[in-house]
Every structure is written in C-alpha cells, then in structure tokens.
C-alpha cells in the first residue's frame, strides 16, 4: 500500500481517538494516567506516530466512557493492518498467487454482492475473456508472465457458483458489455454467457445499469461485498479490504441503490443483445 494511503488511514483513526478523548473532557495526561500508560503514549497515538493495538482501543474507550465505539475502532485497526492487499507483493511471482489468494474467501462467503462498471466480474468470465483480461494486467504491470496458471486459477473460482447455499448478486454497468476486452468472437461468447444469466436462476441475480439511467450514486470504484462483514474495493495500485461495520453498511446501502436502478430479465437481455449487435457491426 502506498505510504500516503497508510498515513491517511492512520490519521483518520488518530483523529477519531482524539475526538473521543475530547468529548470525554479528558487531557492526554489524565487518559494516560487512568489507562496506566506512559504520558507520551496518548500523544503518539493521537499524532499517528504509534499504532494502538486492540487492547489499547478497549482501554481508551473504557476510560473515555465510550465503549460503544470499540467494535468500529478495532475494525479500523485491523483494516490498517490487513484490509489492503498489496498487489506488488503477490505479483512478485505472478498472478496465479493473486487469484489463489481469493479461494478461502470465496469458499467461506455465503452471499456475494458485486458491482463492476466497465469489466465483467471474474466469476462470470469466459476463458477467452479471462485470458485477455489477465494478459492486459500482466503487460500493464510488467510482472512475471504466468498467464496459463492465472487463468486456470481464476476459472476454478467459478465452481462456487454451483455450490449449495450461496447467493450471488451481480450488477455491471452497460459499459462493461461494450468494453472490447478480447476479439469479436470472444466478446460475443462472453455476452452470450451473460444473456444466459438473465433467465430464472434462483442462486444468481444479474443486473445491468443502463448508460441512460439516472443513478442515485456513482461509485468511482468496483466493489465486492462478502456476506455482511467485509468489502473489497478495487483500485489501480491494489485492493482495500474494508471491515469496519459502519463502512460495510455504507457499501451495502450503495449496492441496494444501484440494484434498484439496474434492469433485469428481458430488459437486461435486450441491452446485452444490443451490445452484441454493436460488436458484430450490425
């Protein structure tokens, strides 16, 4: 994770802790004394030069009579430690390891809610689309070329679509239908697969956000919600894993709004058909 982003996350946590102390009308020295800490520890935490651990958070909130904030603050600490997957670290030996890193999460998640505005989600990609998509990543980032293994790992994830007890809700922007990731035949095959998802599938919901729709919210990033306990947010440098309950709830609300604006069934099928015709040039 870029140092600036780490610093930003630490700064937000530090400001929140400082705010809680201020609301409790405690000085830093008083808080430190009540907590049994050296007087400088509070200052270091509030200036983001020292990261609090989970026990520090519990003590801080207890002394400030603000224990209702413990869950969110501990989640914030965990986010700083692990919410962000550093692609460069995983990519050092190729994309296969990046793809394989998702396996435990996919296996354990019961409800997937996925929003992608300009690309087809990996769980729905055809082999040719997946190959072209991952080839573009390898070439752009200049990482070791293990394309065959990476494609095989990505496609293996799709086994979860047939797993019992799981629910999948996908929303893609109409742009995703028209972004030509692979050649004409490959794109048509990919769109044919998506068209098949617009029928009656009890475990899978597939919606399209029409370009002409007036959206209630315009997320600048793709995001995946895993159950109700974490969100993956895709950025160019890497991925955030968001676990703070209030932040997860905000993404859930955003997804609900996008789902309400999307079209399904026949209207979604018509948009897919129009994109396919456009690729054919008809």
What band does 87 get if pLDDT is binned at 50, 70 and 90? low
Are the folds of 3-82 and 85-280 the same? no
Map out the domains of the chain as residue ranges: 3-82, 85-280
Q: What is the length of the chain?
A: 282
Q: Domain 3-82 carries which CATH code? A: 1.10.260.40
Query: Could you read off the pLDDT of 188-198 as tens digits, one per residue?
Result: 999 999 999 99
**Which residue in 259, 257, 224 sits closest to 239, CA to CA?**
224
**Which residue in 216, 188, 56, 170 sits closest to 129, CA to CA?**
188
Compute the average pLDDT of residues 23-52. 94
Query: Could you read off the pLDDT of 145-156 as tens digits, one per residue?
Result: 999 999 999 999
**Which residue in 71, 26, 68, 75 sits closest to 46, CA to CA?**
26
Query: Could you read off the pLDDT of 221-267 as tens digits, one per residue?
Result: 899 999 998 998 887 766 777 887 888 899 999 999 999 999 999 99
Distance CA 16, CA 33 (A): 20
Query: Could you read off the pLDDT of 206-217 as tens digits, one per residue?
Result: 999 999 888 888
Compute the average pLDDT of residues 25-34. 95
Continuous H helices in the chain: 3-23, 28-35, 39-46, 54-63, 70-82, 87-91, 95-100, 103-108, 127-141, 147-156, 174-178, 184-196, 245-261, 265-280
**Which residue in 97, 79, 76, 80 sits closest to 88, CA to CA?**
97
CATH topology of domain 85-280: Endonuclease; Chain A (3.30.870)
Supply the DSSP symbol for 36. Answer: T
């Amino acid at each position: 994770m870029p140092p600036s982003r780490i610093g930003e996350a630490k700064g937000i946590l530090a400001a929140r802790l400082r705010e809680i102390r201020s609301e409790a009308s405690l000085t830093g020295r008083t808080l430190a004394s009540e907590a049994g800490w050296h007087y400088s520890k509070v200052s270091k935490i509030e200036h983001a030069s020292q990261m609090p651990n989970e026990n520090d958070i519990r003590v801080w909130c207890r002394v400030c009579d603000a224990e209702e904030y413990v869950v969110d603050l501990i989640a914030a600490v965990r986010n700083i430690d692990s919410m962000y997957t550093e692609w460069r670290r995983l990519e050092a030996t190729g994309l296969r390891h990046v793809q394989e890193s998702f396996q435990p999460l996919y296996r354990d998640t019961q409800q997937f809610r996925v929003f992608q505005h300009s690309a087809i989600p990996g769980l729905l990609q055809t082999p040719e689309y997946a190959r072209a998509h991952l080839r573009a990543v390898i070439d752009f980032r200049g990482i070791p070329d293990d394309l065959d293994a990476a494609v095989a790992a990505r496609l293996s994830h799709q086994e979860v679509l047939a797993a019992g007890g799981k629910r999948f809700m996908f929303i893609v922007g109409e742009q995703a239908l028209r972004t030509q990731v692979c050649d004409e035949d490959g794109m048509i095959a990919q769109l044919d697969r998506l068209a098949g998802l617009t029928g009656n599938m009890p475990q899978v919901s597939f919606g399209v956000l029409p370009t002409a729709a007036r959206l209630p919210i315009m997320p600048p990033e793709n995001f995946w919600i895993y159950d109700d306990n974490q969100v993956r947010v895709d950025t160019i440098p890497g991925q955030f894993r968001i676990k703070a309950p209030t932040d997860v709830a905000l993404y859930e609300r955003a997804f609900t709004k996008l789902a309400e604006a999307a079209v399904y069934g026949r209207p979604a099928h018509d948009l897919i058909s129009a994109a396919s015709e456009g690729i054919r040039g008809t």
